[in-house]
Structure formats: structure tokens, C-alpha cells
Chains A and B, each alone.
Chain A
Amino acid sequence: ETGVTQSPTHLIKTRGQQVTLRCSSQSGHNTVSWYQQALGQGPQFIFQYYREEENGRGNFPPRFSGLQFPNYSSELNVNALELDDSALYLCASSSELRDKGDYGYTFGSGTRLTVV
């Protein structure tokens, strides 16, 4: 089975620009979560998508938005980039959404975004 694939692996943007990050879920997975991991910190939950609908959001401003497509791949869009948006962005997918922790998420290797 294929894993979670994120693209691009690295990119550099200028403050004020917009960026789109992409995530291809593991085959059969219909739930995707996005996290931001700043240098030296743990990942912070941005939002989750289940069957193309947003299913929860962390403490991030509206300029962070997302989409999930019918094939369950996903995008993270960030508008009006700020220097503090520089981070590793991680995507994680799972095959089932239940309000229990007894299943696993598969993480991608992330996209390293640098804002200058």
C-alpha cells in the first residue's frame, strides 16, 4: 500500500504571498488532518477533513484554509503569508473517523515552508 505523499517537499515564499500545499492520502483513507510544526516545537493541529467536510479546527486564523477532494487528497492554503508561518507542515490520514483513539494515523514527511 502507498503511504501519505506531500508536495512540494520544500518551498520558499515571500511575506504576503499565498501558498498551496498538497497531500495524497494513503490508499483507502478518507480522513485527513493537517498540522504545523515550528522549529523545535511539537506539531499543532490546524484542521481535519472527513469525506470532503471540515471536521474540526485548531487555533489558526481564517487565512489558513483547506480542501478535501473526492479522491480524499487534500490541500492546505495559506494566504497573506507571515514570517511566523515558516514551519514544517504535516499531513496525516486515516481510514476511519470515530471518536475513539483506537486507530492510527499515517503521517507524511511534510512540506518545509520558509517565508522570507
Chain B
Amino acid sequence: AQSVTQLGSHVSVSEGALVLLRCNYSSSVPPYLFWYVQYPNQGLQLLLKYTSAATLVKGINGFEAEFKKSETSFHLTKPSAHMSDAAEYFCAVSSTNAGKSTFGDGTTLTVKP
């Protein structure tokens, strides 16, 4: 069994500030972990993925995430927020393949000018 908890359903930051979106997972086997972004009325776009290689994963649009096994966490960060980063962000875990993922409930990121 696997599960994902995203801490904070809403996060608000100022433009240029650090973005930190939190994700904790539970998995009985070594997990594959993903972060997706969803803009209104659109599907999901993969930001980055962890597949048991480097624990610090760099993704698109300046995002990165660090896999911490001891903390069962995979938090998403970006040093400087842009207005265009405002969207819904989902963390997901899979023990098999990426097409059978368990998603968290999402975090809505608001970026203030």
C-alpha cells in the first residue's frame, strides 16, 4: 500500500520568494516519486521524478526536489517564484510504473506581485 500527504492545501508566496511545497509518502517498497503541475482546465504536466538515482532531482521551470528516505519526504522547491508558477501542484508515488500512481490531494500555489 502506498499513500501521499501534501502538507498545506494552499501556499501563498510573493514573487521572487522561495517556493516550498511539502510532500510525505508512505510505501512498502522503494518508491518512485513524482511532482506534477496542473493549470486550470488542463491535464497534468510532469515537473520532475525520482527513480532511485540521485536524491536531488532537478526538473523543469527551475523546480527541484530532494528525496529523504529517513523522513519519507520529497519536498518541491524553487528559489524564486514567478507569477506564472501559480497553479495546482500534485505529488505522486508509485511502486511499479508511473502509470499506476497514487496522488496527493494537491497544493494550490498563489504568487503575489
Q: Which residues of A contact B (CB under 8 A)?
A: 4, 31-33, 35, 40-45, 48, 56, 58, 90, 92, 94, 97-105, 107-110
Contacts and interface: CB of A to CB of B under 8 A. Distances in A.
B32 A41 contact: no
Interface stretch (B13-21, B43-51, B72-80): B43-51
Interface residues of B, number: 28
A109 B43 contact: yes
Contact of B100 (A40, A45, A104): A45
Contact of A43 (B41, B45, B49, B90): B90
Nearest to B90: A42
Interface in B25-76: 32-34, 36, 41-46, 49-51
A92 to B, nearest CB: 6
A35 to B, nearest CB: 8
A107 B99 CA distance: 10
